[in-house]
Structure 1
Amino acid sequence: MTEQKVRWGILATGGIAATFTADLVDLPDAEVVAVASRSQASADAFAERFGIGRAYGDWASLAADGDIDVVYVATPHSAHREAAGLCLEAGRNVLCEKAFTLNAREARELVDLARERGSFLMEAMWTYCNPLVRRIKALVDDGAIGEVRTVQADFGLAGPFPATHRLRDPQQGGGALLDLGVYPVSFAQLLLGEPSDITARAVLSEEGVDLQTGALLSWESGALASVHCSIVGGTANSASITGSHGRIDIPFGFFFPDHFVLHRDGRDPETVTADPADGPRNTMRHEAVEVMRALRAGETESPLVPLDGTLAVMRTLDTIRDRVGVRYPSEAATAAGVTPA
């Protein structure tokens, strides 16, 4: 895989799959060769839209396609365990959307399976691959603002979303936390690692999913992170990192920034902007480039999005849900010894 194009399969045909595929087709070393949906008509329409050669009306056929180097799983996160597991069992490499799975148990199962098979697996946490976020991470690691004291991050959408929407559907892992809260949690843990203690509060819907959630994460170092997510209010969607000798402010869209402001004690604020050559701020190309780099290097996981880090984030999300009382139907069935349909 050192010279030829990396051949991609796309599993699912929703909006995020379309966004990712649109970015893929612009990469000269990527080729989208197949797409799958549970509906043949949907797969055919997606294939026609993007000029994809093969369209499958079931996931198993895509997983069995030996002409695919890596599969991008873009289903709702409630189906990630099934879809990604099917591909890994068939020997495919996988890039799986976030939240990586419904819970940490499912995430561990996928990671164990990938490591057992020697297959590449990565969470599609595009924020970690963003050049400006990588610059922020390097500055923090190099001590540009001293020891990190606090991280603040929020992601909220105004809605309102009807009860029939997937964000309100417990069967699909609905709620603000797994869909939006994964971003501020992942951002805090990118900088500080897994927290030692977690407190959380939430407002729940009639269906039993979280409409908005706030959590306070703490570390043995004394660092704190305040994270918030909502599907009932449009927040600033910003982040700030405060250190012992400075601060980094990231404005709207901290998970795909086009600039940030570095404040260092005794210096004027410095605005750092994205390189236009990196493409638009909302591009998903960086994670695709990282996957292809890793595959060509023979790596089974990415150092930018390590699997142990993904597992740590899932443990934090589990703890937050436990604190606020959100449990999904498939989890209750599994706890009772019943295999979900």
Structure 2
Amino acid sequence: MSLQQNKTIRWGIIGLGNIAHKFAKDLLTIKDAKLQAVASRSADKANAFANTYNAVNAYSSYEDLVNDPDVDAVYIATPHSFHKSHTLLCLTHDKAVLCEKPFAMNLEEVKEMIALAKEKKVLLMEALWTYFLPHYQYTLELLKNENYGKLLKVEADFGFSRPFNESSRLFDKAVGGGSLLDIGIYPIFATLSTLGEPDHIEASCTSFNNGADSSCNMHFKYNTTTEAILKSTLVEDTPTTCVFTCEEAVITLNRQFHTPTTVTISQNGKEHTLDYTGDTIGYNFEILHFNQLLREGKTESDIMTFDFSLKLIKTLDKVRSLIQLNY
């Protein structure tokens, strides 16, 4: 069912950690959208979050939020291992769902989520926000149109160093912690969205004592001339750039390539840099896209499609199998 084009989309948020704060902050910048409700297992946390971002309602259970008739869409920002169950909870109550990446823990879980969304005819999308950022869309157009010839190589890394903390979600293998699902997904995303699925994958990893992967190195092979070299790590600060080498130029998404950043084009010994940084964190772009889908009565994004989410989780599963990482 399509909504009025000027209808205010009323959001709920499930899971109130760091990324939820970023999402809520950018939500405040969007006209015709508001934070209707937030939910945490902790009433104090829910109330504090609601006060900070002007939410109408604060709940101490996720079930109460999905039963709120004034919530149109729910952003799920809980740990990875809960994405499937919380998505199914929302869909069962006919709430449109924007679920944080990775969509779920494995291919079978993602298939189950998509199947229910299709059955209920309710909008569902994986929240891989980089896809919607202007600098990334600009780069995709350059590559799609082959402005600088064919794409030959992708080199992307995402790494930072954090002291190991077994109580932190980031290092907790039981909830999908480790470098691959948390940040390795970004270099893989950059490759799949430009080169597609590889013909062959090589991968290796190092691990913490609890079995969570501390770093992952990946080599995607397409043919004799096309490849991707990717890395994720929680034990080293890396440039966190994405470099697309084409036949006639090199396109570099500079530091923190997954966020609004600068793009440098190097050709014939000359460099030209475009600045795509802005006033927001960058989550507003995926929110605006999702809001419009909801208003138009769409049940699937034409950018972050179900097919792409399936390819992404399939690739993550293949890498996990190669490095013998089991959750």
For the aligned pair, the TM-score class normalised by the smaller chain equals: over 0.9
**Aligned mate of 1:271, from 267, 270, 273:** 273
Name 2:184's counterpart in structure 1: 181
| Structure-2 separation of matches of 1:319 and 1:159 | 26
Distance 1:289 1:221 in 2: 40
TM-align CA RMSD: 1.5
CA–CA separation in structure 1 for the residues paired with 2:153 and 2:180: 20
1:223 aligns with 2:226: yes
Structure 2 match to 1:40: 43
Cα distance in 2 for residues equivalent to 1:296 and 1:163: 43
Structure with higher RCO (Cα < 8 A, 6+ apart): 2
Q: Distance in 1 between matches of 2:159 and 2:300?
A: 30
* Cα distance per residue 1:182-210 (max 9 Å; x no partner): 11100111111122221100001111110
The answer for the alignment partner of 1:249 in structure 2 is 252
Residue 190 of structure 1 corresponds to 193
Structure 1 gaps of 5+ residues are 329-341
Cα distance, 1:66 vs. partner? 2.2
Question: Which SS does the other structure have where 2:63 is aligned?
Answer: helix
Matched residue of 1:60: which SS? helix
Deviation at residue 132 of structure 1 after TM alignment: 0.7
| One-letter amino acid of the structure 1 residue matched with residue 213 of structure 2 | D
Q: How does 1:280-295 map to 2 (within 5 A)?
A: 280=280, 282-295=281-294
Q: Identity over aligned residues, as a percent? A: 34
* Counterpart residue identity of residue 39, structure 1: S
Distance 2:285 2:59 in 1: 27
Paired residues in the alignment total: 324
**Which SS does the other structure have where 1:237 is aligned?**
coil
**Aligned twin of 2:54:** 51
1:90 correspondence with 2:93? yes
After TM superposition, give the deviation of residue 307 of structure 1 in Å. 1.6
Instruction: Give the structure 2 partner of residue 201 of structure 1.
Output: 204
How far apart, CA to CA, are the structure 2 residues paired with 1:119 and 1:286? 21
- In structure 2, what is the Cα distance between the partners aligned to 1:318 and 1:325? 10
Give 1:100 shift. 1.4
**2: distance between equivalents of 1:75 and 1:220?**
39
Distance 1:43 1:257, change over 3 A: closer
Deviation digits for residues 263-284 of structure 1 (CA, Å, limit 9, x no counterpart): 34x584322222x6x534x321
Alignment check: 8 A CA contact 2:255 2:261 kept: no
Checking the alignment, whether the CA contact within 8 Å between 1:137 and 1:191 is kept in structure 2 is yes
CA separation in 2, counterparts of 1:104 and 1:142? 31
The CA distance in 1 between the partners of 2:269 and 2:172, in whole Å, is: 49
CA contact (8 A) 1:37 1:57 kept: yes
One-letter amino acid of the structure 2 residue matched with residue 324 of structure 1: I
Specify the alignment match of 2:117 in structure 1.
Answer: 114
Bigger mean CA offset, 48-57 vs 27-36: 48-57
5-14 or 250-259, which deviates more: 250-259
| 8 Å Cα contact 1:251-1:257 kept in structure 2 | no
Q: CA deviation at 1:257?
A: 3.7
Q: Please report the TM-score for the alignment, with normalisation by the length of structure 1.
A: 0.91
Contact 1:161–1:167 under 8 Å retained in 2 = no
Distance 2:173 2:271 in 1: 45
Unaligned runs of 5+ in 2: none
Amino acid at match of 1:319: K
- Please tell me whether the aligned partners of residues 7 and 295 of structure 2 are also in contact (alpha carbons under 8 angstroms): no
Secondary structure at the counterpart of residue 113 of structure 2? helix
2:243 aligns with 240
